[in-house]
Structure 1
Amino acid sequence: MTDFEYGPVEIYLIGFSGERPGTDVVDAIRDLVRAETVNLLDLLFVTRSDLGELTVLEIEELADDYGLNDLEVAEMGLAGDEDVEDLAESLAPGTSAAILVVEHAWAREFAQALDRAGGMVLGSERIPAPVVNELVAMTSA
């Protein structure tokens, strides 16, 4: 039987106006980790200056500012330099983003079951929450 150390992983680029995300976003990430909905594998913050210069900050560089000292990051460095560059390419001057690498904890056992059965995920598509909610509102009206 195959035991997976991790289930499916997603990388999110979460954009913000200004230099840094608000504390509400950081609190939401902390809540997901505490609830064991996701395992935080890597977390970086990137900022593009008004002149276009990109600054990348590791979580330990911001831990004190955001009270993240208690937040465990399991696989720091999983988002490599090339990933960061590719993701940050779309970042407009004067904005920032968090690069969040998470494992969907709920899906690990499902992935193991698929593997044991000789199955595999052939496709997956994420529909952003604003789109889903807009569609539901339109069909409910």
Structure 2
Amino acid sequence: MDDTAIIRRRVRSNFTTLNNELIRDRRISWKALGILVFVLSLPDNWKLRLSHLSKEKEVGSGRDATRAGLRELGQAGYLCIQRERGECGKFVRTSWLVTDRPGDFDVDPPGSDFPNTVDPSSGKS
């Protein structure tokens, strides 16, 4: 007979608490879940960049793989990346909205890597 033992240690600092619904969400792959858990473990004021995330882990985490994981998170409602344009039409700001509960933001889920760009002439998306 096989037995399973799950060993947990009690921690008081430097840890992240996650809802089991997030961990068991079958809409996202292990890759996307790993990216989400890593991002949720970062401090609130962390500046997220695709280049930084794609270099964080060595195995199978190149730029394209990381981008695919981020796309999954966006489609599932855990991530929204917004790029805003300045007066000259150039991108001036990128905002990453990340949540542990899908649908927490009041924006449309991203359909691309950089959704919700603002039209500089109208100020509208």
TM bucket normalised to smaller: under 0.3
Determine which structure has the larger strand proportion and give its number.
Answer: 1
Please identify which structure carries the higher helix content: 1
Relative to the length of structure 1, the TM-score reads 0.24
The structure with higher relative contact order (CA 8 Å, sep 6+) is: 1
